[in-house]
Amino acid sequence: MELEGYNTSHRRPQVDRHEGYRAWLCLAGCFFFNVLVWGFAFSFGILQSYYTEHEPFNRHPEGIAAVGTTATGLMYLLMPVYFAILQRWPRLKRYFVWASLPTIAMGLIGASFASTVPQLIVCQGVLYALGGNMMFAPSFTYLDEWFIRRKGLAIGIMWAGDGTGGIVLPLVLQALLSRYGFRATLRAVAVAMVLMLAPLSIFFKPRLPIPAESAPRPIDTGFLQTPLFWALQAFNIAQGMGYFLPSNNLPSYAQSLGLSAELGSLTLIMVNVASALGCVLVGTLCDRFDVLNVLVILSVGATTAILAVWGLASSATPLFVFSLFYGLTAGAYSCSWGGMAKDIRRQSITADTNIVFSFLAAGRGIGAVISGPLSEALTRSQVGNATRVRFAYDSDYRSLVIFAGCTAMAGGCSWLVRRAGFI
């Protein structure tokens, strides 16, 4: 009998080796999916700027920022739900992949007809997130099957797609918006995603056979009782609360220094360039070293970049240096989730890697949702309303820089908790 993605008349497909080409095809599919779907979500700043300056949303721009945080926040927060469903009923994976593209397209095309911010939130925020997770969840479970020895590297390459998309898509969106407006742009993006993602879906196949008939699999949540999980999750949430703040505010801070809008956008692109490289590096390190040691290195690097470089940046050069170091460290933090899941499984051996990963991703989602209103609160005028500043500590961004530095430092505190003997 021949089962989906697996031919019982041949040897079991190779895992994670040179000859295991299907493993690398699956990884390539995951990478390009992240370039398009997550990359578009992380490029919302370009659309946000357009919405606030053009009809019909500029008349009532309140809540526009919630469109982007809704999309990214829901994609993270709903991962435990999606992964739990697929673990209990694994045969639904293919149906999720097929349903993903129509849902994404409906969200973007629906947003192209929107005339109010709530309509944007429902379409570009909620529907887009639901559709994106329909493909991400099964594709990641397939990746988890294919890669064993180099799982950290695989996750790092997959997440590098986010940064790659964050390099390319802002430039594409800016060009399309300036020439055709948001309605035609969103429709063009919807069509492009369907045409490019549909062929990739054939790469998402399981390595192990799925029985034709099987009872629903139980979901093991025993890892939720381990102190290690809660320590890692607490500091993961803390890091996520501040992670989005520098990226969301770099372009506006650059302009407050007197730099052009183009240079301001370049700072964000440089963060994404460094993040893509950092993801591969951190994923490789998590395969070879203790994840808590990797986390403390990322934490020290990101904290130093924020407090010592961004806080004192008064010109373009130090701001670009900050962008590179921040992307290389904080931008690659999520690639450590695979290493965290591996450590947690040592204490709860029956835990499923996908479920643990999804809970850690949900922690990042909490930070994504909080970061929108938090950013506004932290940048309220504290030193006057001067449009030109000398450096961050002498501006409205002072509290934001300090808070982001503290949360970046918290990201590595699980190392101190273990040294103290609590985990």
Which pLDDT value is given to residue 1?
31
Residues in CB range of 186: below 8 A, 6 or more apart: 108, 109, 111, 112, 124
Residues of the chain with pLDDT under 50: 1-10, 18-19, 381-386
The CATH number, out of the four listed (3.40.50.740, 1.20.1250.20, 1.20.1290.10, 3.40.50.1460), of the domain defined by the range 222-419: 1.20.1250.20
Give residue-wise pLDDT tens across range 172-226.
988 899 899 999 999 999 999 999 999 988 888 888 777 665 666 778 888 999 9
Tell me, what DSSP letter sits at residue 16?
S
Q: How far is CA 209 from CA 42, 130, 205, in A?
A: 35, 27, 10
Structure tokens at 47: 């659309």
Dump pLDDT digits (tens) for 254-280.
878 888 877 877 888 899 899 999 999
Of 241, 112, 114, whose CA–CA distance to 181 is shortest?
Answer: 112
pLDDT of residue 17: 58
DSSP annotation of 380 reads S
Question: 229: burial class by Cβ within 10 Å (0-12, 13-18, 19+)?
Answer: buried
- Kindly provide the b/e burial profile for residues 326-365, where b requires at least 16 CB atoms within 10 angstroms of the residue's own CB: bbbbbbbbbbbbbbbbbbbbeebeebbbbbbbbbbbbbbb
Cα–Cα separations (whole angstroms), residue 223 to 9, 148, 158: 38, 20, 25
Instruction: Please give the DSSP secondary-structure letter assigned to residue 54.
Output: S
CA nearest to 157, candidates 311, 355, 334: 334
CA distance 326 to 186: 30
Predicted local confidence at residue 263, as pLDDT: 83
pLDDT of the residue at 320: 93
Q: Are 417 and 423 in contact (CB under 8 A)?
A: yes
**Does the fold of domain 222-419 match that of domain 21-203?**
yes
Q: List the domain boundaries for the chain.
A: 21-203, 222-419
Q: What's the CA gap between 372 and 115, in Å, rounded? A: 22
pLDDT score for 212: 60
Q: Tell me which CATH code domain 21-203 carries.
A: 1.20.1250.20
